[in-house]
Amino acid sequence: MDLTPEQKQQVAAWVNDGESLAEIQRRINNEFSVPMTYMDVRFLVDDLELDLVDKTPKVDPADATKPAVDAEASIVDDAPEGGVSVELDAIMRPGAMVSGSVTFSDGESMGWQLDQAGRLGLIPGPTEGYRPSEADVMAFQAALEEELRKKGM
């Protein structure tokens, strides 16, 4: 999965613009027609020696009287109605580096796991044939990235 120097420059620009790994993964797939796993994108960013930019606004001490913005709340606010919530398992599923559950904006729940190869997979929930909306999947990836970042992963 080699990218051209021009494509690598574009990825660097996206990182500098503060795009999330999930968004960069989506754009590489859509704009370059190069399918990459979440972990492949993470390694690419590391190989290019790029630092992810945190879009979280800096708190001005003068605004100390205003309530602070919670990062999780902003993810839920940006998500479709009802939001998307992600939880990590205390004990990981066999064969998974990280696993957990996700509840989508329509209330449907599924399990998820990230395997040693960096592939993110959804595990079917109680509703047979359920497929989350594209907006929910994007919100899930962003929420997952944030949750993993909180845990130092």
Q: Is residue 95 part of a domain?
A: yes
Q: HSE on the CB side for 125, CA within 13 Å?
A: 15
Domain span holding position 119 = 64-150
Please name the residue that has the structure tokens 């021009």: 6
> Two tokens at 108?
């449907």
Taking Cα atoms as reference points, which of 140, 135, 85 lies closest to residue 114? 140
Are both 106 and 140 inside the same structural domain?
yes
Are both 76 and 26 inside the same structural domain?
no
Are both 78 and 125 inside the same structural domain?
yes
Q: Is residue 53 part of a domain?
A: no
Q: Is residue 43 part of a domain?
A: yes
Size (the chain), residues: 153
Domain count, the chain: 2
Q: Is residue 117 part of a domain?
A: yes
**Is the confidence at residue 61, as pLDDT, over 80?**
no
pLDDT at position 58: 53
pLDDT at position 78: 41
Are both 86 and 135 inside the same structural domain?
yes
94-112 residue pLDDT tens: 888 899 999 988 888 999 9
pLDDT at position 113: 92
Is the pLDDT higher at 80 or at 97? 97
Q: Is residue 54 part of a domain?
A: no
Maximum pairwise Cα distance, the chain = 52
Are both 71 and 121 inside the same structural domain?
yes
Using CA atoms, how far residue 120 sits from 38, 51, 82, 114, in Å, is 7, 22, 23, 5
Q: Is residue 56 part of a domain?
A: no
Give pTM, 2 decimals.
0.48
